Structure 1
């Protein structure tokens, strides 16, 4: 039996940090990657976000709700990248 943490760390900060990382990566891809290669770079960025999310959640050292935090981090990064990609796609239709 383990003793409970007296003041456990907030775990939502790690989840939101992954979402911010996904937003920064999505904007960087939209600005710097050529249009035909954006989809491939978004997939790479999502994979990187999942790996970083795994590292961040392991760093917290809490086993309670690990799967839920990983799922929330990964799904949130997917949604953030999808919205940014949709925005750049619509912008290319309007300007193109």
Structure 2
């Protein structure tokens, strides 16, 4: 049986770090990727965000609420990248 942590590390920072990674990846894709390849690169960046979220949550070493933290990280990255993709779509409509 393990003893509880006296002062456990805060885990919300890891969740926000994955969201920030999604924002940076989305902006970089918008700047550097050709318009025809943006959807593919957004999908790749979401996969990278999920892997990074998994690595961050494992690094914390806490099993309590692991699934919730992973879900929050992944869902947040999905929503961020979805909003950025929606911005790409609106920019394509306005620019056409």
Structure 2 unaligned regions, length at least 5:
none
Task: Name the counterpart of 2:23.
Answer: 23
Task: Name the counterpart of 2:75.
Answer: 75
Alignment partner of 1:84: what SS? Answer: helix
Matches within 5 A, 1:38-53: 38-53=38-53
Encode CA deviations 1:46-94: one digit per residue, 9 max, x unaligned: 0000000000000000000001100000000000000011011101110
Structure 1 unaligned regions, length at least 5:
none
In the TM superposition, structure 1's runs of 4+ consecutive aligned residues that sit over 3 Å from their partners are none
RMSD: 0.5
Q: How many residues align?
A: 96
TM-score (norm 1): 0.98
